[in-house]
Amino acid sequence: MARILVLYYSSYGHIAQMADAVAEGVIGAGHECDIRHVPETAPAEVVAAAGFQPMKHDCIEGPDALADYDGIVVGTPTRYGRMTSQMASFWDQTGGLWMRGALIGKVGAAFTSTAAQHGGQETTLFSVITNLLHMGCTIVGLDYGFTEQNGVDVVRGGAPYGATTIANNDGSRQPSEVDLNGARYLGRRVAETAAKLSG
Ligand SMILES: Cc1cc2nc3c(=O)[nH]c(=O)nc-3n(C[C@H](O)[C@H](O)[C@H](O)COP(=O)(O)O)c2cc1C
């Protein structure tokens, strides 16, 4: 059985919903999963002015906790085409893990959300994947076995590089069943791959 961490940041709840769906995929495949968010680093006045919502899961204890897992699925909203500073700040504190090679051989994957359909999802996914590759993780994407990522009949999240959702400029669009299914599929594939590699 693989042990998977879903590590995320979310200002308005879209990525938190996707994190739950990733965990559903992991657990549904018979594996263990914890969901943790990274600390909020924005000043309280910015959090209040922008209407950020509290994140509903527990906060990760610190970077060393990453070493306890066989796979790490990282979720972050898009900020100007890349990951949030909150998520980047967390990874900028993992130098000790990098020095010890503590994440080498673990499975890594990414999920994100944007306001706009073409607002930088793939570049954000790659900003996460870049960090994971530097740590020595083996990357799992959202392969085309997840057929629901194809089609232009409705707004669809999902890319070969990770699971995604689209929130709209005012945040009014919630993750659709297609988007959540992509997150579930990614969670299952990460867990199955981690079980094979760690076994
Ligand atoms: C400072 C800032 C920068 C943003 N940059 C982008 C962007 O480059 N492209 C985009 O489509 N949305 C952008 N957004 C919108 C967020 O990606 C959107 O609010 C987020 O995906 C919602 O996820 P959440 O509910 O988990 O916070 C930005 C939002 C903020 C506050």
What residues contact residue 146 under an 8 Å CB cut-off, 6+ apart?
Answer: 158, 181, 182, 185, 186
Please write the tens of the pLDDT for every residue from 53-68. Answer: 999 999 999 999 999 9
Amino acid occupying residue 56: K
pTM of the model: 0.98
Domains and CATH numbers, the chain: 3-198 (3.40.50.360)
> Does the structure show a pLDDT above 80 at 199?
no
Mutate which of 15, 74, 79 for ligand 1 pocket (most atoms within 8 A of beta carbon):
79
Percent above pLDDT 90 for the chain: 99
- Return the half-sphere exposure (C-beta side, CA atoms, 13 A cut-off) of residue 32: 7
Binding site membership of 158 for ligand 1 (Cβ less than 6 Å) = no
Residue 198 CA, chain-centre distance (Å), reads 21
Q: What is the distance in A from the centroid of ligand 1 to the CA of 114?
A: 5
> Does the structure show a pLDDT above 90 at 150?
yes
pLDDT at 152: 95
- Is residue 8 a contact partner of residue 194, using CB atoms and an 8 Å limit? no
Binding site membership of 49 for ligand 1 (Cβ less than 6 Å) = no
Please write the tens of the pLDDT for every residue from 72-129. Answer: 999 999 999 999 999 999 999 999 999 999 999 999 999 999 999 999 999 999 999 9
The answer to whether 9 is a known ligand-binding residue is no
Q: What is the distance in A from the centroid of ligand 1 to the CA of 71?
A: 26
Sign of CA dihedral 94, 100, 101, 107: negative
Amino acid occupying residue 7: L
The answer to whether 79 is a known ligand-binding residue is yes
Average pLDDT over residues 18-43: 98
pLDDT at 164: 98
Q: Residue 120 CA: which ligand 1 atom is closest?
A: 9
State the average pLDDT for the chain: 98
